Protein backbone atom coordinates (compact mmCIF):
# COMPACT_ATOMS: atom_id res chain seq x y z
CA UNK A 1 0.00 0.00 0.00
CA UNK A 2 1.23 3.52 -0.56
CA UNK A 3 0.02 6.45 1.48
CA UNK A 4 -1.37 9.58 -0.16
CA UNK A 5 -0.91 12.83 1.79
CA UNK A 6 -4.04 14.60 2.93
CA UNK A 7 -4.70 18.25 3.67
CA UNK A 8 -7.86 17.55 5.64
CA UNK A 9 -8.89 15.30 8.50
CA UNK A 10 -10.01 11.86 7.29
CA UNK A 11 -13.32 10.83 8.84
CA UNK A 12 -14.78 8.16 6.56
CA UNK A 13 -13.47 4.60 6.08
CA UNK A 14 -13.58 5.17 2.29
CA UNK A 15 -11.21 8.12 2.76
CA UNK A 16 -8.84 5.92 4.78
CA UNK A 17 -8.83 3.44 1.89
CA UNK A 18 -8.36 6.20 -0.71
CA UNK A 19 -5.34 7.50 1.21
CA UNK A 20 -3.73 4.08 1.58
CA UNK A 21 -4.39 3.80 5.33
CA UNK A 22 -6.73 0.80 5.05
CA UNK A 23 -7.32 -1.84 2.39
CA UNK A 24 -10.43 -2.19 0.25
CA UNK A 25 -11.00 -5.62 1.83
CA UNK A 26 -11.34 -3.95 5.24
CA UNK A 27 -13.88 -1.39 4.08
CA UNK A 28 -17.14 -3.20 4.97
CA UNK A 29 -15.92 -3.98 8.51
CA UNK A 30 -14.65 -0.44 9.01
CA UNK A 31 -18.01 1.00 7.93
CA UNK A 32 -19.62 -1.00 10.76
CA UNK A 33 -17.08 0.29 13.28
CA UNK A 34 -17.44 3.89 12.09
CA UNK A 35 -21.22 3.68 12.45
CA UNK A 36 -20.64 3.04 16.14
CA UNK A 37 -17.46 4.92 17.11
CA UNK A 38 -16.10 8.19 15.74
CA UNK A 39 -13.15 8.18 13.35
CA UNK A 40 -10.79 11.12 12.69
CA UNK A 41 -7.21 11.10 11.47
CA UNK A 42 -5.61 14.53 11.08
CA UNK A 43 -3.05 15.21 8.32
CA UNK A 44 -0.26 15.34 10.94
CA UNK A 45 -1.18 11.90 12.29
CA UNK A 46 -1.75 10.41 8.80
CA UNK A 47 1.75 11.55 7.81
CA UNK A 48 3.24 9.51 10.69
CA UNK A 49 1.73 6.21 9.55
CA UNK A 50 3.82 3.76 7.56
CA UNK A 51 1.25 1.92 5.39
CA UNK A 52 3.78 -0.82 4.62
CA UNK A 53 4.05 -1.76 8.28
CA UNK A 54 1.07 -3.93 9.26
CA UNK A 55 1.98 -3.34 12.93
CA UNK A 56 2.52 0.40 12.71
CA UNK A 57 2.09 1.75 16.29
CA UNK A 58 0.51 5.00 15.12
CA UNK A 59 -1.99 3.22 12.87
CA UNK A 60 -2.95 0.93 15.76
CA UNK A 61 -4.00 3.96 17.77
CA UNK A 62 -6.10 5.73 15.14
CA UNK A 63 -7.09 3.45 12.24
CA UNK A 64 -10.22 1.46 13.16
CA UNK A 65 -10.31 -2.34 12.89
CA UNK A 66 -13.19 -4.78 12.98
CA UNK A 67 -11.76 -6.13 16.29
CA UNK A 68 -13.57 -3.16 17.86
CA UNK A 69 -16.89 -4.86 17.17
CA UNK A 70 -16.06 -7.66 19.63
CA UNK A 71 -17.08 -6.77 23.16
CA UNK A 72 -15.43 -8.75 25.97
CA UNK A 73 -16.84 -9.70 29.40
CA UNK A 74 -16.14 -6.92 31.88
CA UNK A 75 -16.05 -4.17 29.26
CA UNK A 76 -18.53 -1.39 29.88
CA UNK A 77 -19.81 1.78 28.23
CA UNK A 78 -18.68 3.99 31.15
CA UNK A 79 -15.53 2.15 32.31
CA UNK A 80 -14.37 4.65 34.92
CA UNK A 81 -17.81 5.55 36.28
CA UNK A 82 -18.10 9.17 35.16
CA UNK A 83 -21.88 9.00 35.34
CA UNK A 84 -21.93 7.78 38.93
CA UNK A 85 -20.02 10.87 40.07
CA UNK A 86 -21.69 13.55 37.98
CA UNK A 87 -23.69 15.87 40.28
CA UNK A 88 -24.53 18.31 37.45
CA UNK A 89 -24.14 18.12 33.71
CA UNK A 90 -20.50 18.49 32.62
CA UNK A 91 -18.99 17.91 36.09
CA UNK A 92 -17.45 14.70 37.45
CA UNK A 93 -16.67 15.03 41.17
CA UNK A 94 -14.80 11.95 42.33
CA UNK A 95 -12.25 13.35 44.79
CA UNK A 96 -12.84 16.14 47.36
CA UNK A 97 -10.34 18.68 46.01
CA UNK A 98 -10.85 18.41 42.24
CA UNK A 99 -13.44 18.03 39.51
CA UNK A 100 -13.45 17.14 35.85
CA UNK A 101 -15.19 19.77 33.74
CA UNK A 102 -16.27 18.24 30.42
CA UNK A 103 -16.79 21.15 28.05
CA UNK A 104 -16.83 19.51 24.65
CA UNK A 105 -17.53 16.09 23.17
CA UNK A 106 -15.26 16.34 20.15
CA UNK A 107 -11.55 15.64 19.63
CA UNK A 108 -9.01 16.34 16.89
CA UNK A 109 -8.48 12.59 16.50
CA UNK A 110 -10.39 9.62 17.85
CA UNK A 111 -8.25 7.07 19.67
CA UNK A 112 -9.36 3.47 19.12
CA UNK A 113 -8.89 2.70 22.83
CA UNK A 114 -10.74 5.77 24.14
CA UNK A 115 -12.36 5.24 27.55
CA UNK A 116 -15.09 7.73 26.61
CA UNK A 117 -15.70 6.30 23.14
CA UNK A 118 -19.42 5.91 23.82
CA UNK A 119 -19.76 9.64 24.48
CA UNK A 120 -17.21 11.45 22.28
CA UNK A 121 -17.54 12.25 18.60
CA UNK A 122 -20.09 13.75 16.26
CA UNK A 123 -23.59 12.41 16.93
CA UNK A 124 -22.77 11.43 20.53
CA UNK A 125 -23.32 13.71 23.55
CA UNK A 126 -23.67 17.36 22.68
CA UNK A 127 -21.51 20.14 24.11
CA UNK A 128 -22.68 21.97 27.22
CA UNK A 129 -25.51 24.47 26.76
CA UNK A 130 -24.95 27.93 28.19
CA UNK A 131 -27.37 27.15 31.02
CA UNK A 132 -25.57 23.90 31.86
CA UNK A 133 -22.20 25.70 31.69
CA UNK A 134 -23.43 28.33 34.18
CA UNK A 135 -24.82 25.60 36.48
CA UNK A 136 -21.46 23.79 36.40
CA UNK A 137 -19.65 27.02 37.33
CA UNK A 138 -22.14 27.55 40.18
CA UNK A 139 -21.41 24.03 41.43
CA UNK A 140 -17.65 24.72 41.54
CA UNK A 141 -18.23 28.11 43.17
CA UNK A 142 -20.35 26.55 45.91
CA UNK A 143 -17.68 24.00 46.92
CA UNK A 144 -14.69 25.72 48.57
CA UNK A 145 -12.85 22.38 48.82
CA UNK A 146 -12.38 22.31 45.05
CA UNK A 147 -8.83 23.48 44.37
CA UNK A 148 -8.29 22.04 40.88
CA UNK A 149 -10.47 21.90 37.77
CA UNK A 150 -9.48 19.53 35.00
CA UNK A 151 -10.84 20.52 31.59
CA UNK A 152 -11.42 17.41 29.55
CA UNK A 153 -14.14 15.91 27.45
CA UNK A 154 -13.52 15.57 24.46
CA UNK A 155 -10.53 17.78 23.96
CA UNK A 156 -10.82 21.30 25.43
CA UNK A 157 -8.29 22.68 22.93
CA UNK A 158 -10.90 22.12 20.19
CA UNK A 159 -12.60 25.25 21.54
CA UNK A 160 -11.82 28.56 19.89
CA UNK A 161 -9.25 30.77 21.62
CA UNK A 162 -12.02 33.33 22.26
CA UNK A 163 -14.25 30.78 24.03
CA UNK A 164 -11.30 29.31 25.93
CA UNK A 165 -10.33 32.78 27.16
CA UNK A 166 -13.88 33.30 28.48
CA UNK A 167 -13.89 29.94 30.27
CA UNK A 168 -10.42 30.41 31.75
CA UNK A 169 -11.37 33.83 33.04
CA UNK A 170 -14.66 32.55 34.53
CA UNK A 171 -12.75 29.82 36.37
CA UNK A 172 -9.84 32.02 37.47
CA UNK A 173 -12.35 34.39 39.08
CA UNK A 174 -13.35 31.66 41.57
CA UNK A 175 -11.29 32.42 44.68
CA UNK A 176 -10.73 28.89 45.97
CA UNK A 177 -9.55 27.52 42.61
CA UNK A 178 -5.76 27.27 42.45
CA UNK A 179 -5.22 25.13 39.37
CA UNK A 180 -6.82 24.79 35.93
CA UNK A 181 -5.48 21.72 34.13
CA UNK A 182 -6.29 20.96 30.49
CA UNK A 183 -5.92 17.45 29.07
CA UNK A 184 -5.27 17.42 25.34
CA UNK A 185 -4.00 15.53 22.32
CA UNK A 186 -4.02 18.62 20.08
CA UNK A 187 -0.28 19.46 20.27
CA UNK A 188 0.50 16.11 18.60
CA UNK A 189 -2.64 15.70 16.47
CA UNK A 190 -2.84 19.25 15.12
CA UNK A 191 0.16 21.27 16.34
CA UNK A 192 -0.68 24.34 14.25
CA UNK A 193 -3.77 24.82 16.40
CA UNK A 194 -1.50 25.85 19.29
CA UNK A 195 -1.40 29.44 18.05
CA UNK A 196 -0.19 32.52 19.90
CA UNK A 197 -3.85 33.46 20.40
CA UNK A 198 -4.69 30.06 21.94
CA UNK A 199 -1.64 30.16 24.21
CA UNK A 200 -2.59 33.61 25.39
CA UNK A 201 -6.16 32.42 26.11
CA UNK A 202 -4.79 29.83 28.53
CA UNK A 203 -2.80 32.31 30.59
CA UNK A 204 -4.89 33.84 33.34
CA UNK A 205 -4.44 35.80 36.51
CA UNK A 206 -5.91 34.18 39.62
CA UNK A 207 -5.11 30.51 38.88
CA UNK A 208 -2.19 28.49 37.57
CA UNK A 209 -2.65 26.72 34.22
CA UNK A 210 -1.19 23.27 33.61
CA UNK A 211 -1.44 21.30 30.37
CA UNK A 212 -1.33 17.48 30.26
CA UNK A 213 -0.32 16.09 26.87
CA UNK A 214 -1.66 12.70 25.81
CA UNK A 215 0.84 10.80 23.62
CA UNK A 216 1.69 7.10 23.49
CA UNK A 217 4.67 6.73 21.16
CA UNK A 218 7.84 8.82 20.71
CA UNK A 219 7.07 9.20 16.99
CA UNK A 220 4.09 11.39 17.95
CA UNK A 221 6.54 13.96 19.34
CA UNK A 222 7.51 15.34 15.93
CA UNK A 223 9.42 18.59 15.51
CA UNK A 224 6.07 20.39 15.02
CA UNK A 225 4.54 18.78 18.11
CA UNK A 226 7.59 19.69 20.19
CA UNK A 227 7.44 23.26 18.89
CA UNK A 228 3.74 23.47 19.81
CA UNK A 229 4.54 22.30 23.35
CA UNK A 230 7.44 24.76 23.52
CA UNK A 231 5.03 27.61 22.71
CA UNK A 232 2.95 26.62 25.74
CA UNK A 233 5.91 26.07 28.05
CA UNK A 234 7.78 29.21 26.96
CA UNK A 235 4.68 31.21 27.87
CA UNK A 236 4.98 29.91 31.44
CA UNK A 237 2.57 26.95 31.29
CA UNK A 238 4.06 23.78 32.83
CA UNK A 239 3.31 20.49 31.10
CA UNK A 240 2.94 16.89 32.21
CA UNK A 241 2.27 13.78 30.16
CA UNK A 242 -0.28 11.04 30.18
CA UNK A 243 -0.01 7.85 28.16
CA UNK A 244 -1.96 4.64 27.89
CA UNK A 245 -0.18 1.29 27.95
CA UNK A 246 -1.28 -0.29 24.67
CA UNK A 247 -0.54 -3.69 23.21
CA UNK A 248 1.43 -3.38 19.97
CA UNK A 249 1.97 0.35 20.50
CA UNK A 250 4.20 0.84 23.54
CA UNK A 251 4.17 -2.43 25.51
CA UNK A 252 7.91 -3.03 25.36
CA UNK A 253 10.48 -1.29 27.51
CA UNK A 254 12.55 0.22 24.68
CA UNK A 255 9.46 1.96 23.25
CA UNK A 256 8.34 3.19 26.66
CA UNK A 257 11.85 4.43 27.40
CA UNK A 258 12.00 6.35 24.12
CA UNK A 259 8.59 7.90 24.84
CA UNK A 260 9.51 9.02 28.35
CA UNK A 261 12.85 10.42 27.18
CA UNK A 262 11.05 12.30 24.39
CA UNK A 263 8.68 13.87 26.93
CA UNK A 264 11.51 14.96 29.21
CA UNK A 265 13.53 16.34 26.30
CA UNK A 266 10.43 18.36 25.40
CA UNK A 267 10.24 19.71 28.99
CA UNK A 268 7.17 17.61 29.76
CA UNK A 269 7.28 15.69 33.05
CA UNK A 270 5.98 12.11 32.67
CA UNK A 271 2.94 11.91 34.93
CA UNK A 272 0.65 8.96 34.22
CA UNK A 273 0.95 5.67 32.40
CA UNK A 274 -2.64 4.42 32.42
CA UNK A 275 -3.51 0.77 32.30
CA UNK A 276 -6.01 0.38 29.45
CA UNK A 277 -9.59 0.91 30.61
CA UNK A 278 -12.33 -1.66 30.03
CA UNK A 279 -13.83 0.34 27.17
CA UNK A 280 -15.99 -1.65 24.74
CA UNK A 281 -14.16 -3.33 21.87
CA UNK A 282 -10.65 -2.52 23.10
CA UNK A 283 -9.39 -5.89 24.40
CA UNK A 284 -7.00 -6.23 21.43
CA UNK A 285 -5.18 -3.12 22.70
CA UNK A 286 -4.96 -4.00 26.39
CA UNK A 287 -2.08 -5.74 28.22
CA UNK A 288 -2.10 -7.56 31.57
CA UNK A 289 -1.37 -5.81 34.85
CA UNK A 290 1.55 -8.22 35.38
CA UNK A 291 3.10 -7.17 32.08
CA UNK A 292 2.63 -3.50 32.96
CA UNK A 293 4.36 -4.00 36.31
CA UNK A 294 7.24 -5.83 34.66
CA UNK A 295 7.66 -2.97 32.18
CA UNK A 296 7.71 -0.42 35.01
CA UNK A 297 10.36 -2.47 36.82
CA UNK A 298 12.49 -2.55 33.67
CA UNK A 299 11.99 1.17 33.08
CA UNK A 300 13.21 1.90 36.61
CA UNK A 301 16.46 0.14 35.76
CA UNK A 302 17.02 2.11 32.57
CA UNK A 303 16.07 5.76 33.07
CA UNK A 304 16.21 8.39 35.78
CA UNK A 305 13.36 9.35 38.10
CA UNK A 306 12.65 12.30 35.85
CA UNK A 307 11.49 9.81 33.21
CA UNK A 308 9.26 7.70 35.49
CA UNK A 309 5.49 8.02 35.17
CA UNK A 310 3.08 6.59 37.75
CA UNK A 311 1.52 3.40 36.41
CA UNK A 312 -2.15 3.76 37.38
CA UNK A 313 -5.46 1.97 37.08
CA UNK A 314 -8.81 3.69 37.09
CA UNK A 315 -10.77 1.17 39.13
CA UNK A 316 -13.88 0.20 37.14
CA UNK A 317 -17.10 1.61 38.55
CA UNK A 318 -15.75 5.05 39.45
CA UNK A 319 -13.66 4.21 42.53
CA UNK A 320 -10.79 6.43 41.42
CA UNK A 321 -7.22 5.96 40.34
CA UNK A 322 -4.74 3.72 42.16
CA UNK A 323 -1.00 3.37 41.58
CA UNK A 324 -0.37 -0.22 40.48
CA UNK A 325 3.36 -0.18 39.83
CA UNK A 326 5.67 -2.81 41.37
CA UNK A 327 6.58 -2.54 45.04
CA UNK A 328 10.24 -2.33 46.03
CA UNK A 329 9.83 -2.89 49.77
CA UNK A 330 8.44 -5.76 51.85
CA UNK A 331 8.65 -7.22 55.36
CA UNK A 332 12.01 -8.93 55.88
CA UNK A 333 10.61 -12.20 57.18
CA UNK A 334 8.99 -12.81 53.84
CA UNK A 335 11.97 -12.01 51.65
CA UNK A 336 15.17 -13.29 53.32
CA UNK A 337 16.32 -16.20 55.40
CA UNK A 338 17.96 -14.13 58.15
CA UNK A 339 18.59 -16.74 60.86
CA UNK A 340 20.68 -14.40 63.05
CA UNK A 341 17.77 -12.08 63.88
CA UNK A 342 14.63 -13.93 62.85
CA UNK A 343 12.25 -12.19 65.27
CA UNK A 344 13.02 -8.64 64.38
CA UNK A 345 10.82 -7.03 61.80
CA UNK A 346 12.84 -5.34 59.14
CA UNK A 347 12.40 -4.44 55.55
CA UNK A 348 13.81 -5.76 52.32
CA UNK A 349 14.34 -3.18 49.64
CA UNK A 350 14.93 -4.20 46.02
CA UNK A 351 17.37 -2.13 43.99
CA UNK A 352 17.13 -1.32 40.28
CA UNK A 353 19.17 -4.43 39.39
CA UNK A 354 16.76 -6.71 41.27
CA UNK A 355 19.12 -7.31 44.24
CA UNK A 356 17.54 -7.34 47.72
CA UNK A 357 18.90 -5.38 50.74
CA UNK A 358 17.87 -5.30 54.42
CA UNK A 359 16.77 -2.04 56.00
CA UNK A 360 16.30 -1.48 59.78
CA UNK A 361 12.82 -1.27 61.28
CA UNK A 362 12.95 2.06 63.10
CA UNK A 363 14.65 5.42 63.00
S1 LIG B 1 -8.26 12.45 22.60
FE2 LIG B 1 -8.88 11.59 24.61
S3 LIG B 1 -11.12 11.84 24.69
FE4 LIG B 1 -10.48 12.10 22.53
S5 LIG B 1 -10.65 10.08 21.59
FE6 LIG B 1 -8.54 10.25 22.32
S7 LIG B 1 -8.58 9.37 24.40
FE8 LIG B 1 -10.72 9.81 23.82
229 belongs to the catalytic site:
no
CA–centroid distance, residue 289 to ligand 1 (Å):
22
- pLDDT 10s digit of each residue in the chain, 363 long? 778 888 999 999 999 999 999 999 999 999 999 999 999 999 999 999 999 999 999 999 999 999 999 999 999 999 988 888 999 999 999 999 999 999 999 999 999 999 999 999 987 767 789 999 999 999 999 999 999 999 998 999 999 999 999 999 999 999 999 999 999 999 999 999 999 999 999 999 999 999 999 999 999 999 999 999 999 999 999 999 999 999 999 999 999 999 999 999 999 999 999 999 999 999 999 999 999 999 999 999 899 999 999 999 999 988 999 999 999 999 877 666 555 555 567 899 999 998 999 998 877
Which of the following is catalytic: 37, 82, 114, 181?
A: 114
- The answer, yes or no, to whether any atom of ligand 1 lies below 6 A from the CB of 111, is yes
Residue 37 CB–ligand 1 contact under 6 Å: no
Q: Which of 107, 229, 307, 348 is catalytic?
A: 107
Sign of the CA dihedral 136, 141, 142, 148?
A: positive
Q: What is the Cα–Cα distance from 238 to 235, expressed in whole angstroms? A: 9
- Is 114 close to ligand 1, i.e. is its CB under 6 Å away? yes
Centroid of ligand 1 to alpha carbon of 251 (angstroms): 19
Active-site annotation holds for 114? yes
Q: Which atom of ligand 1 is nearest to the CA of 115?
A: 8
- Give the whole-angstrom CA distance, residue 279 versus residue 17: 26
Ligand 1 mean position to 240 CA, how many Å?
17
- Pick the atom of ligand 1 nearest to 116's CA: 8
Q: How many CA atoms lie within 13 A of 295 on its CB side?
A: 27
Determine if ligand 1 sits within 6 Å of the CB of residue 107: yes
Could you identify the atom of ligand 1 that is nearest to the CA of residue 189? 1
CA of 274 to the centre of ligand 1 (A): 13
Question: What DSSP character marks residue 278?
Answer: -
- Given the residues 111, 229, 307, 348, select the one marked as catalytic: 111
Number of neighbours of residue 149 by Cβ within 10 angstroms: 25
As a whole number of angstroms, the distance between CA 84 and CA 78 comes to: 9
The edge-to-edge listing of strands for the beta sheet with 329-331 is: 329-331, 347-350, 356-359
Q: What is the pLDDT of residues 169-195, one digit of tens each?
A: 999 999 999 999 999 999 999 999 999
* Phi and psi based region of residue 139 (left: phi greater than 0; alpha: psi -120 to 50; beta: remaining): alpha
Pocket probe for ligand 1: among 114, 241, 242, 285, the residue whose CB has the most ligand atoms within 8 Å is 114
The C-alpha torsion from 238 through 111 and 247 to 32, rounded to 10°, is 180
Amino acid sequence: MSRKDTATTLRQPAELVAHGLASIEQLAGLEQVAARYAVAVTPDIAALIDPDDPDDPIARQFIPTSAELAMQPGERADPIGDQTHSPVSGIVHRYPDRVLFKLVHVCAVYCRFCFRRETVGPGKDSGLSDTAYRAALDYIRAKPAIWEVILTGGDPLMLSPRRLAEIMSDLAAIDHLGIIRLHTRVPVADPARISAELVSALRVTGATTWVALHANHARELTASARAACARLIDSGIPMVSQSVLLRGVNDDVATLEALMRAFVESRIKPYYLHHGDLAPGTAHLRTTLAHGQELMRSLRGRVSGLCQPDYVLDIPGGHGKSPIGPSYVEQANSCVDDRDRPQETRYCVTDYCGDVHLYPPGP
